[in-house]
Structure 1
Amino acid sequence: MADTVENAAATPDQAQPWAELGLKEDEYTRIREILGRRPSSSELAMYSVMWSEHCSYKSSKVHLRRFGELSQDTPAGKLLAGIGENAGVVDIGQGYAVTFKIESHNHPSYVEPHQGAATGVGGIVRDILAMGARPVGVMDALRFGPLEEPDTHRVLPGVVSGVGGYGNCLGLPNIGGEVVFDRSYLGNPLVNALCVGVLRHEDLHLAKATGAGNQVILYGAATGGDGIGGASILASETFDDDKPSKRPAVQVGDPFMEKLLIECTLELFAAGVVTGIQDFGAAGISCATSELAAAGDGGMRVELDRVPLRDSSLAPEEILMSESQERMMAVVEPGDVARFLEICARWDVQATVVGEVTEDDRLVIEWHGETIVDVDPRTVAHEGPVYERPYARPAWQDTVQADGVEGLARPATGDELAATLLALVGSPNLCDKSWITNQYDRYVRGNSVLAQPEDAGMLRIDEETGLGVALSTDCNSRFALLDPYVGAQLALAEAYRNVAVTGAQPVAVSDCLNFGSPEDPAVMWQFTQAIAGLVDGCQVLGTPVTGGNVSFYNQTGSTPILPTPVVGVMGVIEDVRRRVPVGFAGAGDVVVLLGDTRDELAGSVWAAVAHDHLGGRPPVVDLEHERRLAAVLGEAGRRGLLTSAHDLADGGLAQALVESSLRRGHGVTVELPADADPFVQLFSESSGRVLVSLPAAGADALTTLCAEHGVPLHPLGRVTGAEDATVAVAGQFSLPLEQIRTTWSATLPAVLAADPIAVVAGA
């Protein structure tokens, strides 16, 4: 028998498992104060998942408000929807809008790698769909423990198959992302998934229940026992994989059902039969009902026993907490219900009227005629606890910053520089990632014009005009440990620059902020510093934060991950035919470095690979310079001056030369400044630099353009032919490109001991 509201009022002293559900004692007391009685077991279930860290942002809310300081305008147009909606929506011109967002699915992906990653992709795709958009592409930012660790071998293949399998089945190209290895992620990998969608302005939909008498329809997959308390609970406490209770909490995905759900939902939008919509993510029905009602102009009554079930033994509390995938909830006018159900039936999508919008301000849920929930939905969805967690700069921060790279042995001869280059290009974080990316379909739908391993992914939006968007995700967590404020700005600057090198204009940001326990003052200090860095950085760059995700409790025991504020930047390009790729395009092209190189090697890949060292201060970031550099790259792209452009980041100039050569098989010969240290010139990771190539006839035009914008320009050398190609540094070394390619491409297959069939031949 269900625990009814009436029974809850009559049995105030009945013990309840609030602690087991992740609530603190004062939170449980607050729930009793709100209701004026003890909660029913179903109400307790709802509050526990909706007040979890993952759903309520209770430790981050006070700091995330700072993003509201940012302008709602973008260089391309207006922000049509922002923070607080399922995803941000940006006007990109010609009547089009783009919605994009990045979110985490970290702990579920450790417990069950394939399903955890797959359902992470499915969840972010439904966020985009719920805005009225057609999803058109995905990206993923992944972090794992050391490549040689056995547990990495367990987690990585499953995560990759989950990301690739789900996205491939949906027919969504995976156009970019990152894969990073570091010991701090052993036992706590990060799986951050981004989705981008396209809509016309008039197709925008919001998550709110309005209009008394309008019907509430649940459609999509049936509700099962998988994912009960899944992401909402898993992501809201310090991870301990020894707890057996965590094992069944991972959702199970069905991408073919999601594909039907996407097409069905888009037809429902086109038919004009939807007045409000919400996807089912973390917290399931608890989230969809409370958020729709809280954002509307009335209340909602739901008959929970109408919910289609895969498991008839589920108790009402379990139905409310289940995070079963591929489900949506819509608000529909009575006169449109028949048409709604007809469209769902045509797509073989199950749809059930489970309730209606009411005139009052209550969320009432019934079970076989008895009331089991009677709450103010705002107290569930929006008025949960808000913590101002203590934070303090840790004492060890000074020690870390004082431990610079000055005393580390550096290569001094040409042979040593060549050996260093080979060691770095074969290292896990700089090596060829095609073992992973070949499992993703990057070109399905035919609108991918740039994809991995380019600096940014690019999608054509309008076939007639060539209007397109470019996206990149970035974060160097080693820099973020050295200085979380600067590290967050460096992540922003790199993602911004990666979009700019393609010729697109960066316009908006979505972030996924991955940190350790918010109950640790040192972690909260890192978090607040990263927020401040992003807010200040976005103000300079003119890129509003449109939405995102906070993921706390990313630690195993007392050991947190490196602070990892992943930043996604979206840019607009007027004509994708003017895009600029990474690879050197033709022999004889001149090679030029834009931006200055300084002796900045703290936190670098060289320090990690050569000395297993992490200390010092990160590179200086100059965001005004980044704006000027982006302006140069955009204008050079529009004028067709450049044949290639590649951001300098991990591995510095040496890695950029290698990757630009490997992309199309051309060699390169460069001459470094005579008065400069060749090691610093090759391996420094100074920010704000781009390697470009162009026909010699355009060199003067580029020089003039850079002078007009105050961007330093340094001629380096020339692209050489593909036959017997080498990467040569005058007076230092010359390495055959095939030797470099062999070293670069061998690392992942050798360690992972598998050769998955490439999804796209030759990609």
Structure 2
Amino acid sequence: MSLSDADHDLVVEELGREPTQAEAALFENLWSEHCAYRSSRPLLGAFDSEGDQVVVGPGDDAAVVELPDSDGTYITMGIESHNHPSYVDPFDGAATGVGGIVRDTLSMGAYPIALADSLYFGDFDREHSRYLLEGVVEGISHYGNCIGVPTVTGSAAFHEDYEGNPLVNVSCIGLVDEERMITAVAQQPGNKLVLVGNSTGRDGLGGASFASEDLAEDAETEDRPAVQVGDPYTEKLLIEANEQLIDEGLIESARDLGAAGLGGASSELVAKGGLGAEIELTEVHEREPNMNAMEYLLAESQERMCYEVAPENVDRVREIADRFDLGASVIGEVTDTGDYVCTFEGETVVDCDAEFLGEGAPFNDLPFEEPTQPERDLPDGVALDDAFESVVASPNTASKRWVYRQYDHEVQVRTATPPGDDAAVLAVREAGAAAGQAGDDGETGVGLAYTAGADPNWTDTAPYEGARAVALENATNLAAKGTTPLAAVDCLNGGNPEKPDVYGAFKGIVDGLADMCSTLDIPVVGGNVSLYNDSVAGPIPPTPTLAAVGTKDGYEAPPMSLSGEGELLLVGARALEGDAEPRLGGSEYLTQFGGTDRFPTLLDTPDAFIETLADVANEDATLATHDLCHGGLAVGLAEMVHEDGGASVEIDAPNKGSVAELLFGEQPGRVVIETADARAVREAFDGVAPVYDLGSADESGALDLTVNGQSLAYNADEIAGLRSTITNELE
């Protein structure tokens, strides 16, 4: 680890001397791209983060949002990436990603109630991609299942450009209220800093700087020491201890120990309050002998929290930590000097301005190239049955059941709509003592929908337009379950920003996501940026993972599966009921058969579409709803068919595009609705979005599909077989 020459000169100018070894390492990590957002922060002002529902916005460990009509119940929202560690060590890299985002939730005083994971790997047919997938899913499931927090939604995508650098993005929701909420802002000089949790070792040293550089060819061996090792059983104890500490009002502020370890957490805590700290590193409870000052400061050992505690409450904090078999060390205190001072064995090893340490890194003014969309060059001679079977069976559009069945989504007994649907729906109970235990708290009557994901094919084809589509698709997932979007957090993943084409694509996804979220009136209340996702195989596609929530009265939501009793309507398809030219850009169809095209044009009034869809989904006559996106109409219909619910569909629109365009185009902002009152649906969407009559649902358990005179017929078993690609390969 070493500071760049320019950063070194800034530090020397500020300190008036050469930095110590510990100071240089601390600045190198806290001024890294991973911690300081040096290349991305100039772009992030594009996001709207305010709203009446927003209690705490960007900048803290997690955002806090008030639920409507819930008597002051708040949720926390956070998201983070653990991309580089998951390449080097898939199990521990992914597991500690879960642990870190859960501790971000704890540091706001909240109890974690749900997780979402969005995963991106190289081509599924490559052995290394499957190795990473299996290890990452095992790590997430092991950690989440052990700590008793359900993983209820997410996504998994495969693209050749993730081969040398997979992405693991994990989001968490927690419950809290105004009385219990705390923040990462130090409150008062004289309060003690108490380290609670696991003992400190040498694992994860330099993790922040490791995450801020391209992956080397030998990363799997050379960078292994930078990957943390998790202990979910200790994390579970920490969750319950944190709950007890909050119940008794013993915590003034808190920060979890993640990137840059103790040095990062403690310096940021006091800097946010405009205060300082004096820390004695030899007081840290450790598990390895002969550690030096830099190791104490920067080790990223897991399951640790830094609490600000009033002096009179320290003994009680120790008692609670001991009760839960956790270590507790009084490592220093908050001061009014504004200086961050650390001593080790009688020597001052760090003495600098806390705010300069945390906020002094200069931003990067990087050149960029505006991305362009590809020309239209479509494949010829693809038979309809070959196209249907290839697209439906693609790992990108096939069932992800193999993934989510490894997660315990029923723990805490909140999950009303489980994984596998457009969005999960959770029953919200009031925050308070033992908030994670079913039955201990009163019902709020609020249903909370949760969705997360992105599509690299879209943003690789058209970064700006694809990112707008990602936001609209996630909002459609929420509205299809009858919920009104409330707020979102994002994880913005890109390659090496020093390459103008890569930075231009990254800028495109930031602007596109921000623009659509603003149009939909969804505040982006927090997030994470992960750059330098680059390797000898090249940069990843620009990937804007969005995790969003919506709310409704009650917990019931229309299912994705057909009831077999209603009419089928396609809502939002511009190419069928308008003058928009059909497009196949970003589609799985082109991934399978080659060719290029521009990205589809989205609805003119997506905000009105989302609002109307949420209303229609809550009508008694609505029997099933399903968002259409990945794989287009063909995959959407295949996902709705099951043994007792089939469909007879006919599209006769030869002047509105080819069969391939009509069936496999991936324009987001579309939904299939099965309804007992088609007239009412048409009236609701009049002037909002086009409505096209697809046919009817039935109890045949089969899909009979005719498009411009070409017909297909598959029964539910045949479709299930096609959609079992991942399961068949890995089980």
Q: TM-score, normalised by structure 2?
A: 0.94
Aligned positions of 1:312-711 closer than 5 A: 312-393=289-370, 397-398=371-372, 401-402=374-375, 404-406=376-378, 408-409=379-380, 411=382, 416-462=383-429, 464-557=443-536, 559-577=538-556, 579-585=557-563, 587-598=564-575, 599-611=582-594, 613=595, 615-622=596-603, 625-662=605-642, 665-675=644-654, 676=656, 677-695=658-676, 698-707=677-686, 710-711=688-689
AA paired with 1:248? Answer: P
Contact 1:410–1:679 (Cα < 8 Å) also in 2? no
- In 1, distance between residues paired with 2:386 and 2:536? 39
Contact 1:45–1:320 (Cα < 8 Å) also in 2? no
- In 2, distance between residues paired with 1:241 and 1:440? 32
SS class of match (1:89): strand
- In 2, distance between residues paired with 1:183 and 1:540? 32
Q: Give 1:557 deviation, angstroms.
A: 2.7
- In 2, distance between residues paired with 1:738 and 1:254? 41
AA paired with 1:431? Answer: A
Contact 1:210–1:297 (Cα < 8 Å) also in 2? no
Contact 1:492–1:537 (Cα < 8 Å) also in 2? yes
- In 2, distance between residues paired with 1:71 and 1:276? 23
SS class of match (2:179): helix
Q: Give 1:347 deviation, angstroms.
A: 1.6
Q: 1:97 to 1:52 in 2, by over 3 A?
A: same
- In 1, distance between residues paired with 2:311 and 2:523? 39
- In 1, distance between residues paired with 2:415 and 2:288? 41
Q: C-alpha deviations, 1:552-579, integer Å up to 9, x for none?
A: 11111371111111112211122112x1
AA paired with 2:397? Answer: L
Structure 1 match to 2:432: none
Q: C-alpha deviations, 1:453-472, integer Å up to 9, x for none?
A: 11112211036343021121
Q: C-alpha deviations, 1:432-453, integer Å up to 9, x for none?
A: 2212211111111110112221
Contact 2:163–2:537 (Cα < 8 Å) also in 1? no
Contact 1:211–1:297 (Cα < 8 Å) also in 2? no
Unaligned runs of 5+ in 1: 1-20, 756-763
Please tell me whether residue 91 in structure 1 is matched to residue 62 in structure 2. no
Which structure shows the higher helix fraction? 1
Contact 1:51–1:384 (Cα < 8 Å) also in 2? yes
- In 1, distance between residues paired with 2:338 and 2:703? 71
**One of 211, 225, 235 as aligned partner of 2:211:** 235
- In 1, distance between residues paired with 2:357 and 2:274? 16
- In 2, distance between residues paired with 1:558 and 1:582? 38
- In 1, distance between residues paired with 2:3 and 2:457? 33
SS class of match (1:445): coil
AA paired with 1:469? Answer: L
Q: Give 1:194 deviation, angstroms.
A: 0.6
- In 1, distance between residues paired with 2:685 and 2:597? 32
Contact 2:465–2:512 (Cα < 8 Å) also in 1? yes
Q: Give 1:507 deviation, angstroms.
A: 1.8
Structure 2 match to 1:6: none
Q: Give 1:523 deviation, angstroms.
A: 1.1
- In 2, distance between residues paired with 1:726 and 1:535? 38
Structure 1 match to 2:437: none
- In 2, distance between residues paired with 1:213 and 1:183? 54
Q: Give 1:729 deviation, angstroms.
A: 3.1
AA paired with 1:196? Answer: I
SS class of match (1:166): helix
Q: Give 1:637 deviation, angstroms.
A: 3.0
Structure 1 match to 2:264: 287
Structure 2 match to 1:179: 156
AA paired with 1:456? Answer: A
SS class of match (1:444): coil
RMSD between aligned alpha carbons? 1.7
Q: C-alpha deviations, 1:650-672, integer Å up to 9, x for none?
A: 1111111000113x641111121
Contact 2:184–2:255 (Cα < 8 Å) also in 1? yes
Contact 1:499–1:571 (Cα < 8 Å) also in 2? yes
- In 2, distance between residues paired with 1:183 and 1:297? 46
AA paired with 1:437? Answer: Y
Q: Give 1:516 deviation, angstroms.
A: 0.5
Deviates most, 301-310 or 469-478: 469-478
Structure 1 match to 2:255: 278
- In 2, distance between residues paired with 1:71 and 1:129? 22
Q: 1:22 to 1:603 in 2, by over 3 A?
A: farther
SS class of match (1:643): strand
- In 2, distance between residues paired with 1:228 and 1:568? 29
Q: Give 1:298 deviation, angstroms.
A: 2.3
AA paired with 2:90? Answer: P
Q: Give 1:210 deviation, angstroms.
A: 2.2
SS class of match (1:576): coil
- In 2, distance between residues paired with 1:558 and 1:748? 24
Structure 2 match to 1:13: none
Q: Give 1:603 deviation, angstroms.
A: 1.8
**One of 713, 717, 740 as aligned partner of 2:691:** 713
AA paired with 1:383? Answer: G
Q: TM-score, normalised by structure 1?
A: 0.90
Q: C-alpha deviations, 1:337-390, integer Å up to 9, x for none?
A: 122222222222211111111121111111122211111111111111211112
Q: 1:442 to 1:386 in 2, by over 3 A?
A: same
Deviates most, 384-393 or 267-276: 384-393
Structure 2 match to 1:60: 40
Contact 1:582–1:644 (Cα < 8 Å) also in 2? yes
- In 1, distance between residues paired with 2:248 and 2:294? 35
Structure 2 match to 1:213: 190
AA paired with 1:274? Answer: I
SS class of match (1:446): coil
Please tell me whether residue 161 in structure 1 is matched to residue 138 in structure 2. yes
Contact 1:650–1:685 (Cα < 8 Å) also in 2? yes
Please tell me whether residue 78 in structure 1 is matched to residue 53 in structure 2. yes
Q: Give 1:743 deviation, angstroms.
A: 1.9
Structure 2 match to 1:9: none
Q: Give 1:191 deviation, angstroms.
A: 0.4
Runs of 4+ aligned residues of structure 1 deviating over 6 Å after TM superposition are none
AA paired with 1:87? Answer: A
Structure 2 match to 1:15: none
- In 1, distance between residues paired with 2:466 and 2:79? 19
Structure 2 match to 1:28: 8
Q: Give 1:253 deviation, angstroms.
A: 0.3
- In 2, distance between residues paired with 1:628 and 1:468? 22
AA paired with 2:55? Answer: L
SS class of match (1:436): helix
SS class of match (1:717): strand
Q: Give 1:154 deviation, angstroms.
A: 2.1
Q: C-alpha deviations, 1:383-413, integer Å up to 9, x for none?
A: 11211112123xxx55x612x234x2154xx
Contact 1:174–1:451 (Cα < 8 Å) also in 2? no
AA paired with 1:84? Answer: G
SS class of match (1:461): strand
Q: 1:338 to 1:444 in 2, by over 3 A?
A: same
SS class of match (2:605): helix
What is the number of residues matched between the two proteins?
706
